[in-house]
A and B are shown apart, each in its own frame.
Chain A
Amino acid sequence: MFRKVFYLLIFISVVCCEPDDLCASSTEDTPDLVIRFYDANQLDQLKPISSLTATGQDLETSLVFQETDSIALPLRVNDNQTRFLLVMDEVEDVLDVQYTTSDQYISRGCGFKTHFSINDLQIKEPYKWIESVETITREVVHDSLAHVKIYH
């Protein structure tokens, strides 16, 4: 009996290893800036874009969006500003976002995420295909809700 318990304890202590902490894909990460598109003539009506290309400043790859009324743009976490060139039907508008960042703890497996607090968001003058822009919320904390409305 005594020896059985002793061996059992040895067995438990050898087998009982540390579990890996994985980051579940359902966990909220650093939020993207979410933009919804509205009709400039009927302000409360969503107006999907047929095809839009968003290119980050100085980047060569683009994010392409088609037939949608909302897009999500990743902001730079190591800087306080992000610029995107938004091209629709070969017409280009420039979106400038200035913000302050704060890093928030998520979990052992996921690390931290960045929250953004927008100080200034504007389309560079003169506006081309965009009619006007409106910031719904300055706090970019979740990416399940829209932060910006663009009327076109």
Chain B
Amino acid sequence: MLKYIISLIFVSCQFISAQEQAPKTERYGLRFGVDLSKLIRGSLEKEYQGFELTTDYRITRNLYLAGEIGAEKKRVTSDVLDFKTSGTYLKLGIDINTYKNWVGMENQIIVGFRFGASVHVQDLYGYTINQRNQYWGETLDKTLTTSQNSQDLTGQWFEFLIGVKAELARNLYMGLSVRLHHLLNDTKPSNFDNLYIPGFNRVSDFGSWGVGLNYTLMYQLPLYKKEVQ
């Protein structure tokens, strides 16, 4: 069905341009929006709250300056740990559109990268002592009466992403991207670790890789039009 609509638009565009002999132009503008995936996750996951604003600015035909700013709060309760991380982050980078649109359409298949940085705090509420020889039969779960609070924690990372952006209505875009994160540097709490970094997501024991997802709704503020060469 979509195919027919697309071809219909294509044909009609051709028709219009043939009629009017108008030069082909593309719109350049500033897009800004919100990451819906964090709001959805917040409503599904009890111990998570997150908000992210996202923006991009078209520089050349296929090159966009892009960035995100956000805040996250996440409490992790596992078999052996109970902690909460909260903080803010900023990501800046480049999106490259690799998709050749038909005339009049503004969709993108994007490859891009970001540098991300966070400032966050962490509270450790409890943990389990790992003692394999449980001869004494003691309780090995420890709940801290006052949580171990770590301030001024930071993380810096690199993200590689692939994604799509589709124009739903005039100037309204829906975007989806998946991201591979690689932690470059972080300030760790003493006698603990950064196991969750706002913007980076979960940090695993195995290497410093992470994954992320964003699902955005963006509005474009059209600034000017430029003729297609």
Which residues of A line the B interface, CB within 8 A?
A: 1-3, 5-6, 9-10, 12-13, 16, 18-19, 21, 23, 27, 29-30, 32, 56, 59, 61, 63, 72, 74, 76-78, 103-114
B2 touches A112 (CB 8 A): no
CB-based contact B213/A13 at 8 Å? yes
Kindly state the separation between the CA atoms of A112 and B148 in the bound complex, as whole angstroms. Answer: 14
- Interchain CB contact (< 8 A) of B178 among A16, A32, A105, A108: A16
- In the complex, the answer to whether A105 meets B193 with C-beta atoms within 8 Å is yes
Complex alpha-carbon distance, A113 and B80, angstroms: 11
Pick the contact of A111 from B80, B134, B139, B206 — CB < 8 Å? B80
Residues of B within 8 A of A18 (CB): 202
B217 to chain A, nearest CB (A): 15
Q: A74-B131, A76-B136, A111-B128 are in contact. Are A6 and B176 (CB under 8 A)?
A: yes
State A72–B132 Cα separation when bound (angstroms): 12
| Inter-chain contact total with CB atoms closer than 8 Å | 106
Residue of B with least CB distance to A79? B138
Q: How far is the CA of A19 from the CA of B206 in the complex (A)?
A: 10
Q: How far is the CA of A18 from the CA of B41 in the complex (A)?
A: 14
Structural contact, A2 and B166, CB atoms closer than 8 A: yes
Q: In whole angstroms, how far apart are the Cα atoms of A19 and B135 in the complex?
A: 31
At the interface, yes or no: B211 with Cβ under 8 Å from chain A? yes
* Number of B residues, CB within 8 Å of A: 39
Interface residues of B (CB under 8 A from A): 2, 78-81, 99, 107, 109, 127-136, 138-140, 142, 162-164, 166, 176-178, 191-193, 195, 202, 204-206, 211, 213
Is the beta-carbon distance between A107 and B135 smaller than 8 angstroms? Answer: no
Contact residue among B127, B134, B178 (Cβ-Cβ distance under 8 Å from A112)? B127
20 contacts between A and B (CB under 8 A): A3-B2, A5-B162, A6-B166, A13-B176, A27-B130, A30-B131, A30-B132, A63-B135, A72-B133, A74-B133, A74-B134, A77-B140, A103-B191, A104-B191, A105-B193, A108-B80, A108-B205, A111-B79, A111-B127, A113-B131
Cβ-defined contact, A103 with B136, below 8 A: no
B109 touches A114 (CB 8 A): no
Instruction: Give CA–CA (A74, B135) in the complex, Å.
Output: 7
How far, in whole Å, are A113 and B191 apart by their CA atoms in the complex?
Answer: 11
Q: 3 nearest interchain CB pairs?
A: A111-B80, A30-B131, A29-B130
Complex CA–CA separation, A109 to B76 (angstroms): 12
Bound state CA distance, A21 and B80, in angstroms? 10
With a cutoff of 8 Å between Cβ atoms, the chain A residues found around residue B79 in the complex are: 111
**Are B78 and A108 touching (Cβ within 8 A)?**
yes
Chain B residues, CB < 8 A from A23: 80, 130
**Once the chains bind, are B129 and A103 in contact (CB under 8 Å)?**
yes
CA distance A18 to B99 in the complex (A): 31
In the bound complex, do residue A77 and residue B80 qualify as a contact, i.e. CB atoms below 8 Å apart? Answer: no
* Contact (Cβ within 8 A) B131 A5: no
Q: How far is the CA of A9 from the CA of B162 in the complex (A)?
A: 8
* A56 adjacent to B136 (CB under 8 Å): yes
Interchain CA distance A113-B163 in the complex, whole Å: 43
